Amino acid sequence: MIDPTQVIEAFKTKVSSATSSVAPIPTVIPNEPIYETVGSAGGKTLWVVFVLMLLSTLGFTFLAWSVPVQKRLFHVITTFITLFATISYFAMATGDGNSFAETVIKTSHKYTPDTYEYVYRQVFWARYVDWSLTTPLLLLDLAFLAGLDGASIIIAIVADLVMVLTGLFAAFGTTGGQKWGYYAMACIAYLVIVWQLVVGGRRAVSAKDNKTGTLFAAIGGFTLVLWTLYPIVWGIGDGSRTWGVDAEIIAYAVLDVLAKPVFGFWLIFAHATNRSESIDGWWSNGLSNEGAIRIEDDGA
């Protein structure tokens, strides 16, 4: 007959030997969060561009006052473009208009639990506010130069706003699917803008003189090349994080200076030679009595 105490002792010995043969489970130490922020070069660049935008705004204002009101359409629009950019760059240079976008990077392991790396990148949302105001105005400059119809102008402006907003959503996306999904939407919206300017704009400007047609082709092509570089910079910077925040700021700064002050001075000085074009009516004279809205009743 087997003694129960012997069975218990034998069982304890088995469990003890089995337990001691198992290697200790490795300890998983969480990674420290990574912060990607603006540095000295980026901060100085923001201040330099702020000064350039401010001086350009003053220059466009002076040029506007030097011509009759009938010929100030492009001056006024271009002044607003650099004015909004001046405010945006002042906000970014003084440390305002930015927030941190969180990106979670998951790494799978064979014998240990998955690890997560948290990256916090500084995103300047003031830049997207700037673009939502200035890029429609840039489109208006090109549309009025070409003589584009109202329906095409509205389509181009709405597509432009969709492009900027989806770019903002992409910048704050927490997963790759979100980031690149919104990015794809922004690129599709940009193609709509290109279609309106290239096809509709060329068709409209063909009814004007050769000088205006040549100017539209040159300045319109210049603008589209610059605008094509913006999503490339976004993909290298915010998208894949291949570039740091400073490199991204410098790249956007160069593009903004070319797309706004350089574009504006080119348009105004080149178009100034065409003295035959002027805008009368409401733009120059306000609402006349004949076109004013009547508030009182007809029988009064």
Domain ranges of the chain: 30-274
Coil, strand, or helix at residue 119? strand
Are 249 and 256 in contact by the 8 Å Cβ rule? The answer is: no
Are 219 and 267 in contact by the 8 Å Cβ rule? The answer is: yes
Sign of torsion, CA 58 59 60 66?
Answer: positive
The predicted pLDDT at position 34 comes to 82
The predicted pLDDT at position 23 comes to 53
**What strands lie across the sheet with 115-123, from one edge to the other?**
34-36, 115-123, 99-107
The predicted pLDDT at position 175 comes to 81
Q: Nearest-CA neighbor of 139 among 187, 53, 201?
A: 201
This prediction's pTM: 0.81
Instruction: Report CA-CA distances (Å) from 189 to 162, 193, 277.
Output: 6, 7, 32
Mean pLDDT by 10 residues, the chain (300 residues): 51 49 53 84 96 97 85 90 97 94 74 74 95 96 91 95 96 87 96 94 88 91 96 92 93 97 93 61 58 49
- Residue 162, CB half-sphere, CA atoms under 13 Å: how many? 16
The predicted pLDDT at position 43 comes to 95
User: Distance between alpha carbon 139 and the CA centroid of its chain, in Å?
Assistant: 15
The predicted pLDDT at position 176 comes to 82
CATH superfamily, domain 30-274, is Rhodopsin 7-helix transmembrane proteins (1.20.1070.10)
